[in-house]
Amino acid sequence: MVNIGEKVAPFSLPATGDKTLSLEDFEGKNLIIYFYPKDNTPGCTLEGQNFRDCYQDFVKSGTAILGVSRDGLKAHENFKAKQEFPFDLLSDADEALCKQFDVIHEKNMYGRKVMGIVRSTFLIDDKGVLQKEWRKVRVKGHVEEVLEAVNSL
């Protein structure tokens, strides 16, 4: 598990656009990685739209954005196209990155206990060091808070 103030371990995952993206691809830029439970669900859609709508503000501050869930690439491609996301989505089907950031926890879904992604966002600086984390994210106002943190780096 990664802690604030520590370098993030290298990772490489399949991404939208028929790419494989690694942490080293973002060297020299700040990076926002946001984990969300599932493509095309109301909260996940709204969160992605909020990052999309503020995308140019993140770019101006030298920051890239990646969305991550356990969904496959086909679902990601459809979600990204439908919502016109200008950033890539990573498929973490084997949960390696989810485990590295400790975002898989027991959740209560309609009275049943299931293991799932807890909505979380991480800010990694241009040297690959974790600077800030948001766990158990509430979507409303979240992206603005993340942008504020990026601008204070």
Domains and CATH numbers, the chain: 29-151 (3.40.30.10)
Task: Give the model's confidence band at 109: pLDDT under 50 very low, under 70 low, under 90 confident, else very high.
Answer: confident
For 38-76, the pLDDT digits (tens) are 999 999 999 999 999 999 999 999 999 999 999 999 999
Question: Could you tell me which residue, 77 or 108, shows the higher pLDDT?
Answer: 77
Specify the pLDDT at position 128: 96
Would you tell me the crossing angle of helices 42-53 and 73-83 to the nearest 10 degrees?
A: 60
pLDDT (0 to 100) of residue 1: 87
Q: Please, is 18 exposed, middle or buried when counting C-beta atoms within 10 Å of its C-beta (0-12, 13-18, 19+)?
A: exposed
pLDDT at 91: 98
- DSSP per-residue letters across 31-53: EEEEE-S-TTSHHHHHHHHHHHH
Q: So which residues are the catalytic ones? A: 44
- Provide the pLDDT for residue 114: 86
Helix (H) or strand (E) holding 16: none
